[in-house]
Structure 1
Amino acid sequence: MYRQRDGAGEWGSMAAGFKGNYIRAIGILLLLAAAGRALAQEVQAENVTVVEGGVAEINCKFRQNEGSTVVIQNPHRQTLFFNRDRALKDDRFQLEEFTQKQVKIRVSNVTLEDEGGYFCQLYMEDTHHQIATLTVLVPPDNPLVEIKEQAVEGHEVELNCIAPRTKPAATLRWSRDRRELKGISNKQESGKTFSVTNTVKFSVDRKDNGAIITCEATHPALKGQKKQTQYVLDVQYSPTVKIQPSQGVLREGDGLTLTCGVTGNPLPSKIIWSRLNETLSDRVEIHGDTLNIPSLSMLDNGTYICSTSNKHGRASDQYVLVVYDPGAIIEAHTSVPYAIIGGILAILVFLVICVLIIMVWCSVRQKGSYLTHEASGLDEHGEAREAFLNGGDSHKRKEEFFI
């Protein structure tokens, strides 16, 4: 029994010793961690983000650097400043501030090559350093808009919106009349920058000619602003032709001018005047889209044709010329205007329809009244027939009854 108690005492002593060593180890680790934090706090550095071409400030803060050496290095580990002395001959780097607590460096006209980690190093009994990361943003310029092929009516058009150089990649969107057009976006990386393309496709017709399509780019460096480019659609289509006469009814001796209104894209440059199955009179004057006959005669009667074409098709229009003698024209002018005649006819038709409706209504009403009277007088008719057969009533009474 004594040995058992002695053995238990030995195990207790060993456990107590192990526990004490464990506690001391934990304490040492905590002290080392605190020392590490203290060493880490000897130097502090701030990360910086700047737009390409802008100005960046790199700050290195020290707990104390009295009697110590301060060295600032760029991402390529080239020394920029050794204490107050410039080490790298680059005037874009300027020492703005040098105190026991802080060193501030100003970098102007920042480029992508300046991006990376800047080392703030403090040489005391021990060496301490921190890294200030410089991030350079590259915003997009106004995007470029390119068309793959000429837009033609009835076909599909393909437009590309391009932001050739951004960092990070810009976001591109298409819109028309403030409504978004769905496109397909693609980006390619080139070194530290990206080239972004957004492609949109849609069918077009002639009414789309002149429509404005907008491509806009958004980017973190723009701070909510947008860069945009507008593209005016140029849709080509076949021509249309419409002849407009200078006046309506024509008589001998009057002058006539026909104007050929032409549309199309590209706009036809050549207009051809002709006369159906006949040649144009020598008195006809043609000036581009106008045909003029100074003094009409019966011989000018006929069908006049204006035709034109472009690379997408042909079009023509006809005008039938009828020349009246002066008497017919005077009678036509003294007659009642066609609009008044039409109005009078419309009123007459309306009145006839109303009369017919009233007649039908009265006929239906009269027929219904007769049937009702006939049904209610069946007994009286029976009595009248009986009286007639019996001969009990005079002729006058018979007439009165039937009436």
Structure 2
Amino acid sequence: MRPVRSSVLCRLLPTPFSPALRSLVLVLLCLTPRCQAVQAENVTVLEGGTAQISCRLQNYDGSIVVIQNPRRQTLFFNGTRALKDDRFQMVLFTPRLVRITLTNVSVSDEGGYFCQLYTDATHHQVATLSVSVPPETPTVEVKQEAVEGGEVELSCMSPRSKPAATLRWMRNGRAIPGVVSQQDNAKTFSVSSTIRIPVERKDNGAALSCEASHPALSGQKRIRHYRLDVYFAPTVRIVPPPGIMREGDSLSLTCSVTGNPLPRNIQWSKINDTLPERAEISGPTFQISRLSQLHNGTYLCQAQNNFGRAADHYTLLVYEPGAVVETHSAVPYAVIGGVLALLVFTVICVLIVTIWCSVRQKGSYRTREPILAWY
């Protein structure tokens, strides 16, 4: 609470005195025991809390003390209630201090409360009541659906605070700059912060948060968490069985599907043919018991949602029980070819270096032959 400058309740001086001289005389007069003074104290309180409004008296001689609200309605007259508002209570009335309390404070209670002391002339001091309104946890609004390859617009809103709250978007510990707008709603403020970010399917489920900070929160923050919901077309992959299929074996295929929203219906079909009678379909699983070569062919798995369609295929080749099947090496031919090419290149390089060294060595021998001189 911050004290307000005191009003000195003394007899007014004649007008011929200059303002400076009158001020000096008033100060000197107030140093005497006969001069009364009242001092009011400003107060700030949270909405819904309790405010204490105090009027300090100096050299009080029993004069009438009146406390009025900002609308100049008398709340208490010499300690007696004058206004029927049970939120106001007189808690202290002494020759030095008069104090009232106001419970369940609202922003409509803001303003100057008058401490009046009636002597030869009526003087007053004003205790200013300020009400602080901390923000609630902000809300997040999505302007349109977030679709892969597009942008999403998100708005964080704090509808009521005083003074205006500060909003900040965060992602992975980093702030995201937003466009802030503020509206004055008479006694309080509404604030919003809007961001636009590009989205891909990898952003689906990404965590964002909007933080609201305010002086009344004492360094704490009100945080709203939000997870991105990014829509994208499905992907389909058939998981094949291990090894080769022979007559009498059972085939089991699984269609692995992703997408947002996840496709509800998965369709199995056989290209250029109908599905075998013994085929059993259970969602993403396709099974055929007791395979025969009549089941040979290409099987297709398809899925779709509102954002696209995808498919994958598997070619079934059923062998006779005693057939000898040549299995392919697990190492791709491209890798083998690359290794062989590297070996050939290395051999050629070694041969070239060997020949070059041999040639240089022979040349060196020739330069060292003795030179015969004839006399």
Change (3 A) 1:218 1:269: same
How far, CA to CA, are the matches of 1:207 and 1:25 in structure 2?
80
- Matched AA of 2:74: T
1:40 touches 1:128 (CA, 8 Å); kept in 2? no
- Offset of 1:127 from its aligned partner? 2.0
Q: Runs of 5+ in structure 1 lacking a partner? A: 1-23, 384-403
Alignment length, in residue pairs? 356
1:325 pairs with one of 320, 339, 345: 320
Which residue is equivalent to 1:300? 295
- Matched AA of 1:360: I
- Matched AA of 1:311: N
1:183 touches 1:199 (CA, 8 Å); kept in 2? yes
Which residue is equivalent to 1:18? none
- Offset of 1:167 from its aligned partner? 0.9
How far, CA to CA, are the matches of 2:333 and 2:267 in structure 1?
40
Change (3 A) 1:229 1:316: same
SS of residue in 2 equivalent to 1:88: coil
How far, CA to CA, are the matches of 1:184 and 1:36 in structure 2?
59
How far, CA to CA, are the matches of 1:157 and 1:340 in structure 2?
44
- Offset of 1:119 from its aligned partner? 0.4
Change (3 A) 1:325 1:33: same
1:290 pairs with one of 259, 264, 285: 285
2:92 pairs with one of 75, 97, 105: 97
Change (3 A) 1:344 1:77: closer
SS of residue in 2 equivalent to 1:362: helix
Matching of residue 367 in structure 1 with residue 359 in structure 2:
yes
1:7-18 equivalence runs, <5 A: none
SS of residue in 1 equivalent to 2:60: coil
Which residue is equivalent to 2:27? 34
How far, CA to CA, are the matches of 1:262 and 1:246 in structure 2?
17
- Matched AA of 1:75: P
More helix per residue: 1
Change (3 A) 1:338 1:175: closer
Q: Runs of 5+ in structure 2 lacking a partner? A: 1-16
Matching of residue 115 in structure 1 with residue 110 in structure 2:
yes
Change (3 A) 1:113 1:197: same
**TM-score, structure 2 length as denominator?**
0.86
More strand per residue: 2
How far, CA to CA, are the matches of 2:332 and 2:192 in structure 1?
66
Identity %: 50
How far, CA to CA, are the matches of 1:154 and 1:289 in structure 2?
28
- Offset of 1:90 from its aligned partner? 1.3
- Quote the RMSD (CA, aligned, Å): 2.9
1:12-161 equivalence runs, <5 A: 28-34=21-27, 42-161=37-156
Change (3 A) 1:340 1:138: closer
Deviations 1:194-221 (A, max 9, x none): 1111111111111111111101111111
Matching of residue 376 in structure 1 with residue 368 in structure 2:
yes
Change (3 A) 1:262 1:376: same
1:297 touches 1:323 (CA, 8 Å); kept in 2? yes
- Offset of 1:352 from its aligned partner? 5.7
**TM-score, structure 1 length as denominator?**
0.81
Deviations 1:266-291 (A, max 9, x none): 11111111112222221221111111
Which protein shows a greater Rg? 1
